[in-house]
Homo-oligomer: A and B are copies of this chain.
Amino acid sequence: MSTKRDSVVICEVGPRDGLQMAQGRMATDVKLRWLRQLADAGLREIEVGSFVSPRAVPQMADTGDVVRGALAIDGLTVCALACNLKGVIAAHEAGAHVVAIPISVSDTHSRANVNKGTDDQVEAVRAIVDWVRAQSRPMRIDVAAATAFGCSMEGQVSRKRVAQVAAALAAAGADRVALADTVGYADPALVRDTVREVQDAIGARLTKLHLHDTMGLGLANALAGLEQGIREFDACLAGLGGCPFAPGASGNIVTEDLVFMLESMGHATGVDLPRLLAARALLHEALPGETMRSGVAAAGIPRTFRASAALA
């Protein structure tokens, strides 16, 4: 078990994964005010939107403007999601520092979502890498191996398969690979075993976990990853996001509670918890119909809490 108390990067995905599932729309200027609050709270990496069809996901139609606005926030790493070369080109044109590309490990899930199998998608990543590398401005390419801990269509996904796809993505030139529990089926033993197998295949190229709290196991799964050396996690303010495969289910792991856990354990996240909690107000105002979760927000920061800096 890795108990080294080093720093952990939290990538806030609320403006993308959270808002894309929301019933209401958030206006561009409100998004930018919210991004600024999140950055002011200390989040250094934010997935600000996605370059996908505005017909399919109207909440993301303004992602170009959001990326351009976010670039004005000092020190912020601006990420955007894209599913194909067209989206990657748009992300690059807008000036995103990082493009995040989801690829389903489950072939069935991949075909259902993008009408292409996993192997074809890996080939598409290779073409994307070639295109990005040919540009004068560099852009980091992160690939998220979706359905890495199970699939609502195929059921269990073998760890061997996950490691093979991760190795293929690394070979295709992806800078970083993340494992995503897209449908929320993971448990801590599965996270531990899968992370180990993928680390054996691609080493430190596996950087991040994207976890959902569907079954209430989100932070336990994050702990299992942390113990295997993972130092980067996606999370969502107020746990927005839901699960498209389970109506009414919880969404992403909750940024506030993840920060509380990590800082309490002595891991520096760079995030100021009271300021992070304050960033909930704008979200609630803009999208009053959304369920906002967080144990820390409901109970208040306990008087025993010491941020990692105070523990050092």
Contacts and interface: CB of A to CB of B under 8 A. Distances in A.
If over half of A's interface residues share one DSSP class (helix, strand or loop), that class is named, otherwise mixed; here it is loop
A161 to B, nearest CB: 14
A294 B213 CA distance: 11
A49 interface: no
Given A156-B304, A224-B223, A217 B299 contact: no
A289 interface: no
Interface string A236-264: 00000001001011100010010011001
A298 to B, nearest CB: 5
B296 A215 contact: yes
A186 B215 CA distance: 21
Interface residues of A, number: 47
A294 to B, nearest CB: 7
A155 interface: yes
A58 interface: no
A295 interface: yes
Interface in A1-16: 1, 3
6 contacts: A3-B189, A150-B302, A156-B304, A220-B220, A223-B223, A249-B299
Given A219-B220, A223-B224, A299 B261 contact: no
A51 interface: no
Given A215-B257, A219-B217, A150 B296 contact: no
Interface string A167-191: 0000000000000000111011110
